[in-house]
Structure 1
Amino acid sequence: MFSFTNQDVLVVGGSSGIGLATAKAFAAAGARVTIASRSGEKLAAALKEIGDGSRSQVLDTGDALAVESFLAAHTWNHVVVSAAKTPSGPVRQLSLEDAHTAMESKFWGAYRVARAARIRDGGSLTIVSGFLSVRPSATSVLQGAINAALESLVRGMALEFSPVRVNAVSPGMIRTPLWSGMDDDKREAMFAAVAEKLPAKRAGEPEDIANAVLYAAATPFTTGSTIVVDGGGSIA
């Protein structure tokens, strides 16, 4: 089991889904965890799940001044970026406005955090990307391009930020609140169909991705890497 006792961890996007699972895993491993997201209401609910000693910060990664102001006041052992709002669709159907929103949120949001975060030497920055970077979809072309751009950014920052380590974790389809807008029957049918096609024969859970994030943070010889956690989705 990994230990992060007396280490300070920031999880941007830590109020739900993969980010919340990651924050809970760090807290269980002894870290002092701060979660950040846009919604104060979601943050308050998440803190109850994470437990005593955790803190929260309302933060919009689209607001460069707010990001810089908050991050300038703190130093971290590990920073995780899991926050993104990415409208999806084929290139010829996705509006340019929605395309800009997706790029602004997932790529530039992570970029703002990465450039402003103060991380102790030997610490880590981990960015959550996605397996569409290597397994493109005709209905989510931009999402694949954004994920690929993030993974390329990670490799470059691993050189620039050394001795801080920089990695990406690339999930496949994961059971998160992202799918909560679907009818229950349709959602479960979708996950069942995905599981049948995957070598792992199951859908992913947020905890699967959290395990990979903690590995990246805890392993001092891991940097510039993309850790794919997709149940075999990129090869199926």
Structure 2
Amino acid sequence: MYGSLQGERVLVVGGSSGIGLAVAQRACEAGASVTIASRSTAKLDAALAGLPRTAKSAQMDTSNYSSIDLFFAGEPEWDHVVVSAAQTTSGPVRKADLTDARATMESKFWGAYHVARAAKIRSGGSLCFISGFRSARPSANTVLQGAVNAALEALTRGLALELAPVRVNAVSPGLVATPMWSGMAEAEREKMFAGAAERLPLRRIGEASNIASAVLFLACNPFSTGSTVVVDGGATIAA
């Protein structure tokens, strides 16, 4: 399913939960020396408890550019950097709070942009962003999410040229069962998942491990750059 990362240094920004944590787990299994970064020390501590002892953590807030610069200034080159951290909002554009909308762009796009700007990655190493299928399959209630993800994927293609021979790719998930949905009542959440699954060709929603497998494929494939790998259960093509 994925190759060896034996002895390679992997940084997962947003690695304390959800897709980021799944990436960290798979990278550890592939032999990497993994560091997870997040702004919450409590979440980092909880995540580390489920990872091998070799895993490390670092506090990083992607909205605090000074802290990002300071972190990378004190670190040697990474083999692979994955950016999964994001706090996003959805809803109709004309009803959305502008402060929340700007915060979404700040978190998912500018946070990733600044990590890309500051990170030291070895020649032939890789940088991977987590975008989302709404970039290609917008809906009336997720206009901002679609726009942010499309911007992130455009950034991926441009950086693949600018940062070469560092490889830059993105993985675009569909609906995935992660702690992001834990704020919903369980019955409401399960009803949403079931309804979404019925509309997908695969008749199921995704798991964080499905997305992590795609991230590791890109990290291990030395001929992949400028690509967005869609892992959405067929949501983009569904009627």
Q: What TM-score, normalized by structure 1, do the two folds share? A: 0.99
Deviation at 1:52, TM superposition (A): 1.1
Q: Which residue of 2 aligns with 1:163?
A: 165
Q: Which residue of 1 aligns with 2:7?
A: 6
Q: Which residue of 1 aligns with 2:228?
A: 226
Provide structure 2 residue ranges, at least 5 long, that are not aligned to the other structure: none
In 1: Cα distance, 2:90 partner to 2:24 partner: 27
Amino acid at match of 1:221: F
Task: Determine helix, strand or coil for the equivalent of 1:80.
Answer: strand
In 1: Cα distance, 2:193 partner to 2:3 partner: 30
Q: Which residue of 1 aligns with 2:37?
A: 36
Q: Which residue of 2 aligns with 1:92?
A: 94
Amino acid at match of 1:185: A
Deviation at 1:50, TM superposition (A): 1.4
Deviation at 1:35, TM superposition (A): 0.3
Task: Determine helix, strand or coil for the equivalent of 2:21.
Answer: helix
Q: Identify which range, 143-152 or 188-197, moves more after superposition.
A: 188-197
In 2: Cα distance, 1:60 partner to 1:147 partner: 20
Describe how 1:101-180 pairs up with structure 2 within 5 A: 101-180=103-182
Amino acid at match of 2:143: V
Deviation at 1:183, TM superposition (A): 1.2
Amino acid at match of 2:138: P
In 2: Cα distance, 1:93 partner to 1:132 partner: 19
Q: Which residue of 2 aligns with 1:203?
A: 205
Task: Determine helix, strand or coil for the equivalent of 2:206.
Answer: coil
Deviations 1:54-93 (A, max 9, x none): 0001110011110011012221000000000012111001
Amino acid at match of 2:85: A
In 1: Cα distance, 2:151 partner to 2:196 partner: 26
Which of residues 48, 66, 83 in structure 1 aligns to 2:85?
A: 83
Residue 190 (structure 2) pairs with residue 188 (structure 1): yes
In 1: Cα distance, 2:54 partner to 2:102 partner: 37
Provide structure 1 residue ranges, at least 5 long, that are not aligned to the other structure: none
Amino acid at match of 1:217: A
Describe how 1:55-70 pairs up with structure 2 within 5 A: 55-70=56-71
Cα RMSD after superposing both structures: 0.7
Deviation at 1:187, TM superposition (A): 0.9
Deviations 1:148-178 (A, max 9, x none): 0000000000000000000000000000011
Deviations 1:78-112 (A, max 9, x none): 00000000121110011110111000000000001
Q: Identify which range, 148-157 or 195-204, moves more after superposition.
A: 195-204
Describe how 1:49-60 pairs up with structure 2 within 5 A: 49-60=50-61
Q: Give runs of ≥4 in structure 1 deviating > 2 Å.
A: none
Residue 26 (structure 2) pairs with residue 25 (structure 1): yes
In 2: Cα distance, 1:30 partner to 1:204 partner: 25
In 2: Cα distance, 1:189 partner to 1:142 partner: 24
Q: Which residue of 1 aligns with 2:73?
A: 72
Q: What TM-score, normalized by structure 2, do the two folds share? A: 0.98
Amino acid at match of 1:23: A
Percent of residue pairs bearing the same amino acid type: 61
Q: Which residue of 1 aligns with 2:49?
A: 48
Task: Determine helix, strand or coil for the equivalent of 1:50.
Answer: coil
Amino acid at match of 2:33: R
In 1: Cα distance, 2:50 partner to 2:202 partner: 29
